[in-house]
Structure 1
């Protein structure tokens, strides 16, 4: 299924919010998790130069939040990213209780006077990942990042 414009906007805003456009933080969209070709995806993941992983799942509607698509919370810190208008709905807050009780953070995407921004609504609780899991996540990010030079090369052909 093709990404909506809103999803694309949120992904771009996450790049800047996480500072993955600067030195010391490495970001990747659509990180494929699992052996071989993988079996699940996380919408955006960052790794810092100190090996701290953060994963972000973007949800733009209540049906998206309730869908059977797995929410892949694999980082030291994990977040659900929602449009502010969606978060204000009582049914959404009820749906999020399950995740927030497990330490998942909430980030909100909004627009104020024409400026797009991401704000932190709820902080993520730190999980402890062992070194083996961190190496796996590095592998998944590298594998997923390898898509970009291939896309670039094909676009030039």
Structure 2
């Protein structure tokens, strides 16, 4: 699971490269057991592309984990919260760059008169040195496109909501959730929320029908007395 801070770094990195006219995608699996790039950015460079790899780290423990660092691009970077970078500065390899993240103040975001595309800002604290691609560009392109396709499919599933699911699948999920039914807190139970909403909708529909019949009856009574 990604922490809220990791998600904020991710959103800000997306916005940063979108402003640069580049395309970013997260969690791109590399061939030949080279790991997974947290965020891979493809940037136009004349008739070719520049590839940048980013590893997002929000704690010292995260930085010191045994997870593979997939620095396979021409430019490779860590992304840290600004407060974390001084603690790790001496451990950054010479060829790896660093972006630091600072969150915008909540009151400043609330006061903004225009939509803010990211929750904070990035600063290049250490530039990266260029290296040769560690993966053939054709393979990078294939995996980049596959990851973009994955994100599009995820977005489409969200947009479709529950429409693709059968009644049986929905009932099965409702029964599964009933295993944790809380009799002392009905509002926390999905079934009770659904039943309440259904009852409210039914009452509203019946009331509309009663109102229509009452109006029709009143009309006939007026005609009968005229």
Match of 1:121 among 122, 125, 143: 125
Mapped to 2, the partners of 1:111 and 1:150 lie a distance apart of 30
Aligned length in residues: 145
Q: CA deviation at 1:33?
A: 1.0
Mapped to 2, the partners of 1:87 and 1:129 lie a distance apart of 26
| Higher strand fraction (1 or 2) | 1
Higher relative contact order (Cα pairs below 8 Å, separated by 6+ residues): 1
5+ unaligned residues in a row in structure 1: which ranges? Answer: none
* Alignment pair present for 1:139 and 2:157: no
Mapped to 1, the partners of 2:153 and 2:16 lie a distance apart of 27
> Structure 1 length as normaliser, TM-score?
0.82
**What SS does structure 2 have at the residue aligned with 1:45?**
strand
**Would the alpha carbon gap of residues 88 and 39 (structure 1) be closer, same or farther in structure 2, given more than 3 Å must change?**
closer
Aligned to 2:79: 81
Aligned to 1:26: 23
Aligned to 1:152: 155
Aligned to 1:64: 62
Aligned to 2:102: 110
Q: CA deviation at 1:135?
A: 1.4
Q: CA deviation at 1:21?
A: 5.7
| Higher helix fraction (1 or 2) | 2
| Root-mean-square deviation over aligned CA pairs | 2.1
8 Å contact kept, 2:28–2:36: yes
> Structure 2 length as normaliser, TM-score?
0.59
Aligned to 2:214: none
Q: CA deviation at 1:111?
A: 2.9
C-alpha deviations, 1:51-105, integer Å up to 9, x for none? 111111001000100000011101111100000111122xx22332xx2x2x100
**What SS does structure 2 have at the residue aligned with 1:88?**
helix
Mapped to 2, the partners of 1:21 and 1:70 lie a distance apart of 29
